């Protein structure tokens, strides 16, 4: 977890079936609200499909060998719309957790990737033949890192963590 | 990742500073949109505070020794409101990823926890002294598991994963 970084540029080294299967198994082991697993994923490795998806996803910078489209499944939502938080919000949290497992598994296998929310939903939906109840949330390009993975800037821990209540950041007696 | 399960009942064994620090470090290593780390966390171990939080969080079932309140920080959002997806949606995804790291680290350290979205936001906000720009998203109770952690039901993989496009689930030629 501590050495994972976002990887945006990839070599043209292919991702084999075994590696893909390991990553998908890790992804599906994520927690989900009421264990509904209200999600669906499309794992794309076909070169023409990868090219087409990239055309509609400005957030994908390099040429990944795999793109996983992570979707929320509205028909299986743990919570009805209209409650706070609603089905959509809870669905986003679950999809986020599954995608983090995918990224951690990729990293553990020597690969790297990046969660991308900047894409055009309607063309992606058409390209992937998604039915109306599947809502694409994140695209996750994955590949072998083209460059060594460097540490990135992290906010000071005292800025983002407090103990027992928010105003006890500086003075925490732990 | 594969052996982590939701843990809802805990022993009264305390969580020490070192263990807490390791979990928080893993949590803060999660990816975030544009690396903005638009989040903030309150780690609560004080017994009276734990009791008060539980009173406003029906989703917390057992008596955890730690509750981490995971918040979205509106002032640091990577993306302005009004875009699709908006700041709030992207913020939920990032907080979800950080919480998954926290849960995985807890599991690796012999602890267990559970993401809880069922809580009353206003009393929690008051209790934790949260300023207006911090939006509590999930409460994460953590403790030593009271029972052995059992595998749970998982949807069939062919139900949730397809290859190259959604209609190629059953017929995937990989």
Concatenated DSSP letters for A4-70? Answer: ------B-SPPPPHHHHHHHHHHHHTS--GGG---EEEEEE--HHHHHHHHHT-TT--S--SEEEEE
Residues 39-58 of A with CB under 8 A from B: 39-46, 49
Average pLDDT estimate for A111-137: 96
- Considering only CA atoms, which of A120, A23, A27, A37 is closest in space to residue A73? A37
- Residues β-bridged to residue A31: none
Residue B43: CB atoms within 10 Å: 23
Compute the distance between CA of residue B58 and CA of residue A42 in angstroms, rounded to an integer: 35
User: Residue A54 corresponds to which tokens in the numbers above?
Assistant: 């990239």
User: Residue B118 corresponds to which tokens in the numbers above?
Assistant: 């069922």
Residue A61: CB atoms within 10 Å: 14
Compute the distance between CA of residue A104 and CA of residue A23 in angstroms, rounded to an integer: 9
B76 or B84: which carries more pLDDT confidence? B76
User: Residue B50 corresponds to which tokens in the numbers above?
Assistant: 């734990």
pLDDT for res B171: 46
Q: Quick: pLDDT tens for A53-66.
A: 999 999 999 999 99
Cβ–Cβ below 8 Å for A40 and B166: yes
Is the pLDDT at B172 greater than 60? The verdict is no
- Considering only CA atoms, which of A59, A29, A57, A145 is closest in space to residue B161? A29
Compute the distance between CA of residue B101 and CA of residue A2 in angstroms, rounded to an integer: 10
pLDDT for res A85: 73
- Answer for the pair B9, B60: CB distance below 8 angstroms, yes or no: no
Look at strands B39-44 and A161-163 and give their pairing. Answer: parallel
pLDDT for res A168: 74
Compute the distance between CA of residue A59 and CA of residue A116 in angstroms, rounded to an integer: 6
Query: Which residue from A2, A26, A163 is facing B2, i.e. has the nearest CB?
Result: A26
Compute the distance between CA of residue B1 and CA of residue A29 in angstroms, rounded to an integer: 6
- Coil/strand/helix, residue B139: strand
Query: Which residue from B31, B92, B166 is facing A131, i.e. has the nearest CB?
Result: B166
- Considering only CA atoms, which of A173, A158, A163 is closest in space to residue B44? A163
Is the pLDDT at B167 greater than 90? The verdict is no
Cβ–Cβ below 8 Å for B130 and A49: no
Compute the distance between CA of residue B83 and CA of residue B157 in angstroms, rounded to an integer: 33
Half-sphere exposure of B27 (CA within 13 A, CB side): 26
**Residue A152: pLDDT band with limits 50, 70, 90:** confident
Q: Quick: pLDDT tens for A21-47.
A: 999 999 999 999 999 999 999 999 999
Place of tokens 């989040």: B39
Compute the distance between CA of residue B1 and CA of residue A105 in angstroms, rounded to an integer: 9
User: Residue A168 corresponds to which tokens in the numbers above?
Assistant: 């006890």
Question: What is the complex's ipTM, to 2 decimals?
Answer: 0.93
Rounded percentage of chain A residues whose pLDDT exceeds 70: 93
**Residue A174: pLDDT band with limits 50, 70, 90:** very low
pLDDT for res B81: 63
Q: What is the DSSP letter of A172?
A: -
Is the pLDDT at B41 greater than 70? The verdict is yes
Overall pTM surpassing 0.90 (yes/no): yes
Mean of the per-residue pLDDT values of chain B: 93
pLDDT for res A150: 85
CB contact burial B109-126 (16+ within 10 A = b; e otherwise): bebbbbbbbebeeeebbe
Compute the distance between CA of residue B157 and CA of residue B162 in angstroms, rounded to an integer: 9
pLDDT for res A112: 97
Average pLDDT estimate for A92-118: 97
pLDDT for res B152: 87
Residues 74-133 of A with CB under 8 A from B: 84-85, 89-90, 92-97, 99-101, 103-105, 114-115, 117, 121, 127-131
């Amino acid at each position: 977890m501590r050495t994972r970084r976002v990887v945006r540029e990839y070599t043209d080294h292919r991702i084999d079936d075994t590696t893909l299967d390991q990553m998908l198994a890790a992804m599906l082991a994520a927690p989900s609200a009421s264990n509904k697993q209200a999600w669906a994923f499309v794992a794309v490795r076909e070169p023409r499909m990868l090219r087409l998806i990239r055309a509609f996803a400005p957030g994908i910078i390099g040429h990944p060998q795999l793109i996983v489209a992570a979707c929320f499944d509205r028909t299986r939502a743990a919570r009805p719309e209209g409650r706070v938080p609603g089905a959509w919000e809870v669905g986003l949290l679950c999809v986020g957790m599954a995608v983090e497992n995918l990224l951690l598994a990729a990293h553990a296998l020597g690969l790297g990737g990046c969660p991308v929310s900047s894409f055009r939903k309607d063309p992606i939906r058409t390209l992937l033949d998604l039915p109306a109840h599947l809502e694409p949330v994140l695209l996750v390009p994955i590949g072998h890192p083209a460059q060594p993975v460097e540490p990135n800037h992290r906010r000071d821990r005292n800025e983002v963590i407090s103990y027992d209540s928010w105003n006890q950041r500086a003075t925490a007696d732990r």
